[in-house]
Amino acid sequence: MAGKITVIGPTREEVMKVLRAFLLIRKTDKREYQYVQSRVKIIFISCMLGFTNEFFMPEKVWFANRSVIRNNDLAWLSSLIVHEAFHATQFKKGMYVLPLGKKLEAPALLVQRKFLRKIEGGKGRGEIESAVKKKYWREMRGDKRSFSYFRNLLHLLENKKLQLTKMGA
Ligand SMILES: [Zn+2]
DSSP state letters, 72-114: S-HHHHHHHHHHHHHHHHHHHTT---SSP-HHHHHHHHHHHHH
Does residue 164 lie within any of the structural domains? no
Phi, psi of 63 (to 5 degrees): -100, 135
pLDDT-derived band of residue 1, with 50, 70 and 90 as boundaries?
very low
Distance 65 CA to ligand 1 centre (A): 15
Neighbours of ion ligand 1 (CB under 5 A): 108
Does residue 167 lie within any of the structural domains? no
Question: In the prediction, which pLDDT does 68 show?
Answer: 93
Distance 156 CA to ligand 1 centre (A): 24
**Is residue 166 pLDDT above 70, yes or no?**
no
**Is residue 164 pLDDT above 80, yes or no?**
no
Distance 50 CA to ligand 1 centre (A): 16
Question: In the prediction, which pLDDT does 46 show?
Answer: 94
Question: Is residue 159 classed as helix, strand or coil in its secondary structure?
Answer: coil
State how beta strands 61-64 and 42-45 pair: parallel
Does residue 98 lie within any of the structural domains? yes
**Is residue 19 pLDDT above 90, yes or no?**
yes
* Interval 94-139: pLDDT, tens: 766 665 667 788 889 899 989 988 986 655 556 666 666 666 666 6
Tally the domains of the chain: 1
Distance 40 CA to ligand 1 centre (A): 14
Q: What is the pTM of this model?
A: 0.83
26 is in which domain, residue-wise? 6-158
Amino acid symbol at 82: V
* Interval 29-86: pLDDT, tens: 999 999 999 999 999 999 999 889 999 988 999 999 999 999 988 999 999 999 999 9
Question: In the prediction, which pLDDT does 105 show?
Answer: 84
Distance 97 CA to ligand 1 centre (A): 11
Does residue 51 lie within any of the structural domains? yes
- Stretch among 1-5, 6-10, 28-32 having the lowest mean pLDDT: 1-5
